[in-house]
Amino acid sequence: NAGVTQTPKFQVLKTGQSMTLQCAQDMNHNSMYWYRQDPGMGLRLIYYSASEGTTDKGEVPNGYNVSRLNKREFSLRLESAAPSQTSVYFCASSGLTGSGNTIYFGEGSWLTVV
């Protein structure tokens, strides 16, 4: 029962490099999300996808792009990494329609930009 799977788990980048964080869910969920976690700030929404084929900006989208490849997969791309993007990144998903659906999280990706 995998749930939400994200890769890589750890990554170190140099300033200016690009990379893509991959995320897949096997729960047949419609909505997917990317959050970042910074000390004392909780989790902040970067981008989300309410359904396949749609994406929208969250609270902190600058410096990121996303792709909802299909219903299962939602990737996050850093085109030119900056030290301010050092963070822990979480992919998440929630299912079906209506409000108040529980959001389920992956195990996180630790990204360091030097």
Residues near another protein (CB under 8 A): 4, 31, 33, 40-45, 48, 50, 58, 90, 94, 99-108
DSSP 19-50: EEEEEEESS--SEEEEEEE-TTS-EEEEEEES
Q: Which is nearer to another protein, 51 or 70 (CB)?
A: 51
Check: CB of residue 108 under 8 Å from CB of residue 89: yes
Q: Which is nearer to another protein, 38 or 79 (CB)?
A: 38
Q: Which is nearer to another protein, 14 or 99 (CB)?
A: 99
Closest approach, Cβ 7 to another protein, in A, equals 13
Q: How far is the C-alpha of 92 from the C-alpha of 44, rounded, in Å?
A: 12
